[in-house]
């Protein structure tokens, strides 16, 4: 980044006008917008970009029905922001059986879900073979489910355990059934904040290198950012720059999803956090700066439903998921819940026509007539969760049965 004196010379209004018209902005300009642009002007410019990109369907905002199946909480990386993991030798470690995982997939299909996010800790014994076995079993039983799972950190770990290259690991799990990567483990990509919160993970450069390998093998992904663990504004923009540079080469990131650090039950103890306004500014700047990434997703799970609605006016075109199960950020204090009926209502009250989407963002069901809205009240977020008191949002719903 340039010196503060150089940043002060940037004409914010002119940069907003250029970005809103489709011009590319520099990292220095993005930083000045993030720091100084009037909030409403920033949001208006980002929304202009969104409307132009999706001309003809700009009135639509999307959501997906999915399930995050956490297969184990055993993890060797011990990230300081994480409240989900347990040290591998801890008596708190658990691992789901394949039968249990398949039952959860069956429930997802029963409730209209189209995607699973298969994620867990970096278990010291789980190499490529573990994921091959599980992905192939899921695809055999439920070929209609998209496996949008894992990330570069899991690839690095499984490749090391199995003694193979990252490229071979990706080829093998893709052949077994992995459809795309979820962008997990990005956290903060710049070196200083990454080492501060995840010192045992691969570098940000290595994370991106693995994603680039995946993209070149035809496996697309999303990209993410964890906000609020003590990173600077400049480091947040540097994170965006690193993603944009790879995207210029590969085009493999289909979406960018910023979310906020949750302060409970982890080593950081909430000493730093991102505000809702910082989050909305990031959504807007990301829409302006990431001119080569198609979709920006709002995160109601960590910021709340009202902030999620607002994100649709700051450049986001997607409101994420009705997540039937989620344990990781919920363990750190994210207690926001939703359901299918409410998700549709949230999007409609934000002034958009709701549409259920596929993993690759095709519209599956456009809810253009409220009289025809789905009314399945069983489709709720956190239907089953080890992170929330009671373990399930609907104890009376027993689609999963014990052996």
Residue 105 in marked binding region = no
Residue pair 166/155 in contact by the 8 Å Cβ criterion: yes
Q: Tell me, yes or no, whether 399 lies in a domain.
A: no
First-to-final CA distance of the chain? 58
The residues near 283 (Cβ < 8 Å, ≥ 6 apart) are 46, 258, 296, 298, 311, 314, 315, 316
Q: How confident is the model at residue 272 (pLDDT cuts 50, 70, 90)?
A: low
- pLDDT higher at 206 or 384: 206
Output the pTM of the full model. 0.88
Q: Please write the tens of the pLDDT for every residue from 131-187.
A: 999 999 999 999 999 999 999 999 999 999 999 999 999 999 999 999 999 988 899
Question: What confidence tens digit (pLDDT) does each residue in 70-115 have?
Answer: 888 889 887 776 766 688 888 888 899 999 999 999 989 988 899 9
Structural domain count of the chain: 1
Any idea of the CA torsion for 229, 230, 233, 238, to the nearest 10 degrees? Answer: -70
Band (265; pLDDT cuts 50, 70, 90)? low
> Residue 332: is its pLDDT beyond 70?
no
* pLDDT tens track for 312-329: 999 999 998 886 764 444
- Is residue 110 in some structural domain? yes
Q: Give the pLDDT confidence score for residue 396 in this predicted structure.
A: 41
CA proximity to 337, closest of 399, 382, 291: 382
Say if 55 falls within a structural domain: yes
Let me know if residue 389 belongs to a domain: no
* Rounded (5°) CA angle 265-269-275: 110
For residue 140, the number of C-alpha atoms closer than 13 Å in the C-beta half-sphere is 9
Domain assignment of residue 114, given as a range: 24-372
Q: Which helix (H) or strand (E) holds 264?
A: none
* Confidence category of residue 271, pLDDT binned at 50, 70, 90: low
Which of 131, 147, 154 minimizes the C-alpha distance to 179? Answer: 147
Residue 377 lies in a domain: no
Q: What's the whole-number mean pLDDT along residues 207-212? A: 98
Residue 79 annotated in ligand binding: yes
Among the listed residues 248, 305, 258, the one whose alpha carbon sits nearest the alpha carbon of residue 285? 258
Residue 400 lies in a domain: no
Indicate whether 229 pLDDT > 70. yes
Q: pLDDT digit string (tens) for 24-65?
A: 999 999 999 999 999 999 999 999 999 999 999 999 999 999
- On whether residue 216 sits in a domain, the answer given is yes
For the chain, give the mean pLDDT.
87
* pLDDT top residue among 380 and 211: 211
pLDDT at 199 over 80: yes
Q: Which residue has the higher pLDDT, 299 or 338?
A: 299
List the one residue out of 70, 69, 129, 72 whose CA is nearest residue 105.
69
The SS3 assignment for 41 reads: helix
Is 189 contained in some domain?
Answer: yes
- Distance of alpha carbon 234 from alpha carbon 220, whole angstroms: 27
Q: Which CATH number characterizes residue 341's domain? A: 3.20.20.70
């Amino acid at each position: 980044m340039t010196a503060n004196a150089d940043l002060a010379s940037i004409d914010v209004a002119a940069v907003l006008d250029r970005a809103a018209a489709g011009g590319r902005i520099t990292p220095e300009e993005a930083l000045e917008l993030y720091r100084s642009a009037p909030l409403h002007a920033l949001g208006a410019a980002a929304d202009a970009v969104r409307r132009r990109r999706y001309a003809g369907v700009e009135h639509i905002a999307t959501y997906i029905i999915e399930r995050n199946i956490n297969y184990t909480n055993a993890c060797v990386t011990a990230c300081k922001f994480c409240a989900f993991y347990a040290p591998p030798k801890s008596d708190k470690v658990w691992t789901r059986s394949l039968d249990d995982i398949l039952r959860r997939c069956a429930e997802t299909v029963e409730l209209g879900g189209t995607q699973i996010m298969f994620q867990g800790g970096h278990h010291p014994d789980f190499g490529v073979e573990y994921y091959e076995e599980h992905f192939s079993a899921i695809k055999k039983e439920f070929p209609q489910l998209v496996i949008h799972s894992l990330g570069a950190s899991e690839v690095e770990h499984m490749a090391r355990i199995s003694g193979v290259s990252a490229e071979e690991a990706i080829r093998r799990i893709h052949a077994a059934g992995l459809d795309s990567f979820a962008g997990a483990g990005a956290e903060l990509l710049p070196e200083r904040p990454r080492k501060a919160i995840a010192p045992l993970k691969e570098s940000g450069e290595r994370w991106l290198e693995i994603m680039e390998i995946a993209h070149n093998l035809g496996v697309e992904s999303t990209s993410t950012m964890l906000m609020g663990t003590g990173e600077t504004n400049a480091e947040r923009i540097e994170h965006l720059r690193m993603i944009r540079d790879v995207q210029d080469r590969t085009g493999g990131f289909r979406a960018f999803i910023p979310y906020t650090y949750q302060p409970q039950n982890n080593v950081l103890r909430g000493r730093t956090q991102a505000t809702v306004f910082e989050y909305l500014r990031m959504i807007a700047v990301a829409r302006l700066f990431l001119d080569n990434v198609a979709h920006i997703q709002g995160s109601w799970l960590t910021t709340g439903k009202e902030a999620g609605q607002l994100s649709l006016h700051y450049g986001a075109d997607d409101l994420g998921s009705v997540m039937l199960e989620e344990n990781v950020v919920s363990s750190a204090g994210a207690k926001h819940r939703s359901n299918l009926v409410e998700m549709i209502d949230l999007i409609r009250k934000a002034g958009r026509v709701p549409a259920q989407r596929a993993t690759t963002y095709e519209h599956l069901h456009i809810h253009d007539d409220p009289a025809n809205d789905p009314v399945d009240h069983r489709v709720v977020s956190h239907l089953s969760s080890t992170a929330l008191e009671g373990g399930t949002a609907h104890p009376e719903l027993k689609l999963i049965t014990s052996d």
